Amino acid sequence: MGTQTALVTGASTGIGRAVALRLDAAGWGVYAGVRTADAAESLQAVGSVRLQPVMLDVRRSDQIAEVTARLKVELGSRGLGALVNNAGVPVGGPLEYLDLGELRRCFEVNTIAPVAMVQAAADLLRTARGRIVFVSSIAARISGPNTGPYSASKHAVSALAESLRAELHSAKVKVSVVEPGAIDTDIWPKSVAYGANLRASLPREAIERYDKLLSHSEKVIATSQGHAPSPDVVAQVVEKAITARFPKSRYLVGRDARVAATAVRFLPDRLRTGLVRRI
């Protein structure tokens, strides 16, 4: 591979796939983490020889170890130019009735796995004085009804990234968080299916108490994808974060993300709570 190499998690679809293909087109060597052979074949069909799909379920420590061991052999003294932690899952629902197993799964994939990836790739990143990018969400800054698990997992990522930025400063490894708003990816149909399963699993009293909020969330999910930009807008920002001489600590992506960030900054808590109940 070339002198600049990136490892991208969650590259089967959506933002991760767009990042992998964009970096490949820009001349980077890319290890694209996927979970199925079909996803690997799909990437290989449109990418160059620089793009190499690797089997990487971020919940599996054995696969993380296998991929990073391979990188150490193949990259050697060049090290890893960038780690893009993108893999994630949508989990939501009323906290009063939330399955704690689902909460654990959410944090395992969205929060703990990125730290595991950093730990496994740290020596490679130090060698190259590389970059770490966490693909987060504007949900890290503002949390509405039924989005608590996802928002909390992403908020935690921001806190971890801030600590990591200070800890790796002397190693010249820079850390950025990318916070998109709504993006046209398969997270929306996945969220629709998740919401349907959630309704089916909730007891009657939960439906009675939360039907209005659940219905509102379902409506937002059903309509958001149609107005959302392509995942390539996020890929452009990720590329900027790993190539800029002085990358930003945080990047907001999308008008909705910028509006929400402004609301968080300036609105009192009481007014903000009223706002998130309506969006």
Residues catalogued as catalytic: 150
Q: How far apart are CA 6 and CA 181, in angstroms?
A: 24
Task: Name residue, tokens 């149609």.
Answer: 226
Q: How far apart are CA 85 and CA 133, in angstroms?
A: 6
User: Among positive and negative, which fits the CA dihedral 32, 35, 36, 39?
Assistant: negative
Quote the tokens at residue 164: 């990591």
Give the DSSP letter of residue 108: I
Q: How far apart are CA 200 and CA 153, in angstroms?
A: 24
Coil, helix or strand at residue 145: coil
Residue type, 13: T
DSSP for 212-266, written as a single string: HHHHHHHHHHHHHHHHPPPTHHHHHHHHHHHH-SS--SEEEESHHHHHHHHHHHH
Beta pairing partners, 8: 32, 84
